[in-house]
Structure 1
């Protein structure tokens, strides 16, 4: 239920109370009393009906009233065809009604028409979505969010939807093989390569019609993908955010050794014993992994719901993560073992914000080359965070990323009034 629906529900009870105050203490003839009660009930029904429609128009998340001059934040979900598969997406923004985009004929409650041509359910189509001539971007800048993993889902990055209330439409998607996107069976490990996911990102931008004006936010592995994408200098890219990403997996692996050596006495010994024995599925090993994660992955206890949603999905569907990364964050045995983006960084020409946590598994040594090699870049370290500052320090994160979005003209706000700290 949206905030608007709740508001109207409360108002209905207020009206009933007002009618009661008018009816009970004042001596009036029975026919007048009956008419007053009927009128009150009719008014309540009208308010409930109006409130229901406002709840629909307000969209999921229900900012409903008071945002964008009374325009609600809505959510549109759907799929974009990608080869023989499909990429699941979610767009959050002002003026979008909640709805789903199907395979060529689904309508969306945006008040401006329907979408359809070019969206292939199950991956049978290609093309772009049109909503009132502005695409899902609404004619303005779009924030496209690339999640980590590989093999994770968008869920843990859903808090970035807050920027929809700033007038920026926010695109989340699940990369191929995970979440709502197609599962790919019967392929070898060589199928899962970075170029596949770069092609998927390009296809998504075209399919949603948002490639003419966007900021790209990549987190962890997604930050590496975003860096390579930006190095190819797409015409519509306005700015780049690289969050909690290493410049290369060789550096990442070396830094994991440093972090493991700093764990409490005995923890790394347990890890190495089970890794050598091939018993990494046992409870003792998993408990030792938890010690590392509690220091360098997420320092919150318990983990926030959005993060748990992603981790549970990865636990039930680990194929991509195992093929590309390995059994866990610090044991990289998959196809990414030797992958690096260092050489392409000087080719990035858009303003770039680099983000990391003081206790991040993506250590300063792994992150620093982004700042040193990207010509127009800045680096913000979150002192009380590890690998997910948007969850660990959400208020400061919104200020920092919001300030960057303002600085590149992605929002309708006055950047001179915003502090990026």
Structure 2
């Protein structure tokens, strides 16, 4: 049973330790159970280990490298080409629309038409599911939000999940279909392993909805923050702007932006047993543990005295990822972090992955992305999280008045 006491961890090493304590259960998404209950991120213990093992098979570096060579660039081109021709875009909308096709593929949602209207419908669902998942941070009436999310989940089920689910069940039950003909996605993995996982259709529905919102919303958020930080860095350092032609430098910029702008500013755990941290502190069973990711990611003892400043040339200590704790750690480390941000380059590495967000940012830079002086960015109105609600940009060189 939970007590009223809460322990807050703020330092980088404290969070590193906390993420790896098996006696601390995920607690951030309890309020968002309408869409998060029994999903991968909500599970704990043996059930989580089993689900993670099944789904991990889909998230391999070789797979990401293959997607990066063809699938991801194609998706980026399809979404970016129209707005670049128009000469303007909203990065929040563009980012979400770009990753939606990739996210749907990973989750296991079949696209019957591939139209923009279909993409936008999925996007609307993902936004609503994200609001439900992060209910703990809403500034609206929680009951109203829950009702909206439940209604959206029902429509999503009818429009997208049911046909996708029924197709995969039919494939799994047809002895004439070889396994290598199965779709390589989360839903297919769940259908094939449903008896071992002891899950029903409703859990699969929420799992797919979770992937849809987590992949699209967090990636779009990272994309927008990265572009924002890069544009402002280039304004401060015009003599170094040429470095943005280097893909690896762009990736370093994205990693630094990820550190400063984690999609979730905090993690919340619940002690299911008495826990002793490495520094000797005891956390009694039932205690809530608030893990301040934002503070840990700007810990001056790890990232230097200017830890709160965007610096793509920052050097982190051995064993510290350049994005800090943005992707979490331990058993609940983000399963798609390499797909989002790529891998840190290592000498002689054959399978370095640049990442979806760096690829998206690179494409904008190639087309002269810049702030729209007539329409400044705005933050999301109904969330305590650091998200942009709109981010207008222009493309091409600015016209200087005579």
- Answer 1 or 2: which has greater helix percent: 2
TM-score when scaled to structure 2?
Answer: 0.23
Larger-gyration structure (1/2): 1
The higher relative CO (CA closer than 8 Å, separation ≥ 6) is in: 2
